[in-house]
Amino acid sequence: MLRKRLAGVVLALALTAGSPAVAEAAAADGGSAASVLWEAYPESAVHPGNGAGDPRVMDVAVDAPSTGELLTTVRLLLPRGWSRDARRTWPTLWMLHGGGGDHKQYTESSHIAEMAAERDVIVVMPETSPCSSYTDWYNGGRGGTPRWEEYLTRDLPRLLESRYRAGTERAVLGLSMGGGGALSLAARNPGHFRAVAALSPESHTLYKAPGLGFSGPDFVKLGALACSKGGEKTDWRRIWGEPGYPFDTFDPADVRQRAVWAASNPYDIAEGLRGTRLYLTYGNGDGSAGPGWDWNGGNPPPVPASRCSDPTAAGTDDLGVEKAFWAMNNLFRARLAGLGIPAEVCSATGTHSWPYWDREIHYALPMLVGALDQAG
């Protein structure tokens, strides 16, 4: 991620060098407050001949008022037959990265490029900040930027619809911070996404762990460390303020900005998910058995009957991270059930890591694409 004051220098150097990866510097579209600064066409083993003439992978640098000083990149996986001049549009599958990640996280760590190669959808992998929490930041009550919810539900969709033949049918998948973001964005904007798949999501940011385990706010605090690289410290309280009791205070009357947290907490706003197709999956922190699956040319994951065993939270193989997510997602699952909101749930053995998420992406993809009225 670049700051906008550096973006012009980067673009000028690339154009001066005649880089084939840079296609254009484009002005803003009338339908969006966002504008395109450049496009690039990264090659990969899946798409070795990728290029401007017949792109299957495209990185788009986006300048939007909602992101403030931050210039973001979105990676697009484009379906066969895609063209800027096509008479049709394509539905979009959004994939939200986890804490510390960016627009390259899924293509570098999963097999989504292979999985989506023959799907008739545009896969949208937006970069936010490593600690965005996919929300409009509180900033001490002053508001302002970054406004990630505004960027992801207004500015970027309008840009993709006006320039890249994206339709208005959307589904979303996210993991960890991105899983919580997928649930929160869908709940706060009913109807914006037809389906949500949440993998080890931060589904209850106000979860209080017993004893010394990780609580929900701890992951927001840890995420801020990922944003504090290069000596530029990020205060975690900029995101939603302070959650108050029972975190960082023993006074039950000291609620601080708890209401701000609750307004974006999937657990508290779960009613907004009614009518949205849901897939929720999480592990128990025990990685001793492994995922029981690898890509190997597209072989399907183990069926739910053998995979989704509802184990106890017995493992701490990832320092207790997934064990905490196991606890908060059990509460979130019960919350959905109490509201009468249906969801497909897979609670399995496993840790907060890619072998398990890659497996669950492969499993969730047919549901997500099916919700977009495409062949599953």
Q: What is the CATH number of the domain that holds 268?
A: 3.40.50.1820
Within-domain flag for 310:
yes
**In which domain, by residue range, is 282 found?**
68-371
Within-domain flag for 57:
no
pLDDT confidence bin for 129, thresholds 50/70/90: very high
pLDDT at 46 over 70: yes
Q: What are phi and psi of 73, to 5 degrees?
A: -120, 140
Distance in angstroms (rounded) separating the CA atoms of residues 376 and 368: 8
What pLDDT shows up at residue 8? 52
What pLDDT shows up at residue 6? 52
Distance in angstroms (rounded) separating the CA atoms of residues 277 and 286: 28
Within-domain flag for 37:
no
Average pLDDT value for residue range 337-341: 99
Token readout for 66 is 């909602």
Within-domain flag for 62:
no
Average pLDDT value for residue range 155-166: 98
pLDDT confidence bin for 19, thresholds 50/70/90: very low
pLDDT at 18 over 60: no
Distance in angstroms (rounded) separating the CA atoms of residues 99 and 129: 8
pLDDT confidence bin for 32, thresholds 50/70/90: low
| Average pLDDT value over all residues in the chain | 91
pLDDT at 7 over 80: no
Q: How many residues does the chain have?
A: 376
pLDDT at 157 over 50: yes
Within-domain flag for 115:
yes
Within-domain flag for 284:
yes
CB 1 within 8 A of CB 70: yes
Sole residue written with tokens 């497996």: 359
What pLDDT shows up at residue 12? 46
What pLDDT shows up at residue 287? 93
The whole-model pTM stands at 0.93
**Residue 7 burial (CB count, 10 A):** 17
Distance in angstroms (rounded) separating the CA atoms of residues 52 and 43: 11
Number of structural domains (the chain) is 1
Within-domain flag for 211:
yes
pLDDT confidence bin for 11, thresholds 50/70/90: low
For residue 118, what are the contacts with CB-CB under 8 A and spacing of at least 6? Answer: 80
What pLDDT shows up at residue 4? 57
Within-domain flag for 145:
yes
What pLDDT shows up at residue 3? 58
Summarize pLDDT for 201-212 with one digit per residue, the tens.
999 999 999 988
pLDDT confidence bin for 47, thresholds 50/70/90: confident
Summarize pLDDT for 65-83 with one digit per residue, the tens.
999 988 999 999 999 999 9
Sole residue written with tokens 């600064």: 37
pLDDT confidence bin for 16, thresholds 50/70/90: very low
pLDDT confidence bin for 2, thresholds 50/70/90: low
Q: Enumerate the β-bridge partners of residue 90.
A: 166
